[in-house]
């Protein structure tokens, strides 16, 4: 059996030659697979994330169904906060909701640091998964400091990040303390997953696209870099993905990414120029799975062709799988990527 370290995904992440373009899908297990929906029926999101048996089964489902080149650990970006005792919940149709939003230095100081004793269920689930996955790598997962801070400051999802930016600009000492706190929690969460056997990690920044490059570089990048630097000490490839971050791709790479995730709004060829000598991940529009199959596959071919000019390319959608996606379309897409023959 092939060693995990020789898997196409890890080779591509390191910029080494691959026999085929590796592929996985963000949110590949969640929301669209009928077997996932059946398993989650009546089970709250955070409860599912803290049940090792459920985490294991949910993480494995898309690997079984699609034959993708990696499993992404089933979790949520606010799970580590819940684990250390922050009063929050994930409301269906809304997202994470925090009972007492962070406003002051005292609020930040009240948040405990995370250590492995807070998340024994994570260690158990990862160890079980690594045993089940064999030569297929498991990607560990954590939320980036800006996005997690946004939920804590806003008290829930926000389209404009107004309270978050108000703290960033108006109370920089509180902002810096909060970002340091979250960076420590996110890094520790990734360390737990890698210690248990995860062989790559992804830092996910849902809301970073709300920032200008200057504000990102000044107020956010140092803290994401701190997470990625700690992950880098573990010797695993680091994927850094944000949504709407076309103007931040260079900085997100410089923060310490081995692989820069690219959403569908940025042509992959443009992204490759911006990230420099790094691998890229992406970036088919998630809505293209609703197009006729031949259209979806033609556009996928264009992504693969563009990716040939990067240091390494991991095929993915440009964001998460849309809940109403037909799983059979993702199966066709996976097969196409795996069997694609370069032109000429």
CB 77 within 8 A of CB 95: no
To the query of whether residue 238 is one of the catalytic residues in this protein, the response is no
Place of tokens 């149709």: 93
To the query of whether residue 151 is one of the catalytic residues in this protein, the response is yes
> Whole-angstrom Cα distance, residue 165 to residue 159?
12
> Whole-angstrom Cα distance, residue 311 to residue 241?
17
List strands edge to edge, sheet with 71-72: 71-72, 138-143, 200-205, 238-242, 259-261, 279-284, 313-317
> Whole-angstrom Cα distance, residue 107 to residue 220?
20
Which of the residues 65, 66, 76, 238 is marked catalytic? Answer: 76
**Which residue, 26, 120, 37, 7, is CA-closest to 74?**
26
Length of the chain: 344
> Whole-angstrom Cα distance, residue 82 to residue 78?
6
Which of the residues 151, 258, 263, 311 is marked catalytic? Answer: 151
271-287 burial code (b ≥16 CB/10 A, e <16): bbebbeebbbbbbbbbe
Could you write out the three-class secondary structure of 49-92?
Answer: HCCHHHHHHHHHHHHHHHCCCCEECCCCCCHHHHHHCCCEEEEC
To the query of whether residue 76 is one of the catalytic residues in this protein, the response is yes
Strands 88-91 and 95-98 come out as: antiparallel
Q: Which two tokens stand for residue 286?
A: 């998630």
Residue 137 exposed, middle or buried by CB count within 10 Å (0-12, 13-18, 19+): buried
To the query of whether residue 27 is one of the catalytic residues in this protein, the response is yes
List, by residue number, the catalytic residues: 27, 31, 40, 76, 151
């Amino acid at each position: 059996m092939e060693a995990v370290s020789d898997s196409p995904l890890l080779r591509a992440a390191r910029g080494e030659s691959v026999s085929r373009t590796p592929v996985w899908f963000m949110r590949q297990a969640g929301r669209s697979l009928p077997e996932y929906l059946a398993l989650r029926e009546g089970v709250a999101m955070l409860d599912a994330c803290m049940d090792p048996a459920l985490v294991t089964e949910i993480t494995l489902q898309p690997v079984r169904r699609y034959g993708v080149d990696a499993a992404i650990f089933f979790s949520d970006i606010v799970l580590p906060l819940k684990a250390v005792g922050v009063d929050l919940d994930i409301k269906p149709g809304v997202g994470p909701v925090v009972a007492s939003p962070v406003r002051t230095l005292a609020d930040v100081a009240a948040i405990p640091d995370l250590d492995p004793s807070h998340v024994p269920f994570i260690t158990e689930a990862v160890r079980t998964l690594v045993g089940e996955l064999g030569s297929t790598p498991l990607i560990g997962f954590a939320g980036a400091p800006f996005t997690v801070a946004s939920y804590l400051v806003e008290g829930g999802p926000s389209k404009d990040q107004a309270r978050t930016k108000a703290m960033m600009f108006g109370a920089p000492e509180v902002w810096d303390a909060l970002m340091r706190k979250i960076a420590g929690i996110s890094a520790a969460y990734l360390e737990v997953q890698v210690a248990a056997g995860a062989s790559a990690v992804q830092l996910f920044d849902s809301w970073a696209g709300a920032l200008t490059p200057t504000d990102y570089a000044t107020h956010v990048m140092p803290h994401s870099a701190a997470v990625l630097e700690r992950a880098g000490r573990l010797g695993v490839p680091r994927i850094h993905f944000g949504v709407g971050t076309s103007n931040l791709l260079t900085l997100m790479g410089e923060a310490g990414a081995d692989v820069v995730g690219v959403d569908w709004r940025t042509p992959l060829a443009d992204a490759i120029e911006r990230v420099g000598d790094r691998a890229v991940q992406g970036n088919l529009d998630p809505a293209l799975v609703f197009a006729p199959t031949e259209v979806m596959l033609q556009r996928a071919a264009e992504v693969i062709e563009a990716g040939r000019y990067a240091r390494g390319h991991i095929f993915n959608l440009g964001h998460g799988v849309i809940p109403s996606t037909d799983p059979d379309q993702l199966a066709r897409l996976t097969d196409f990527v795996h069997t694609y023959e370069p032109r000429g």
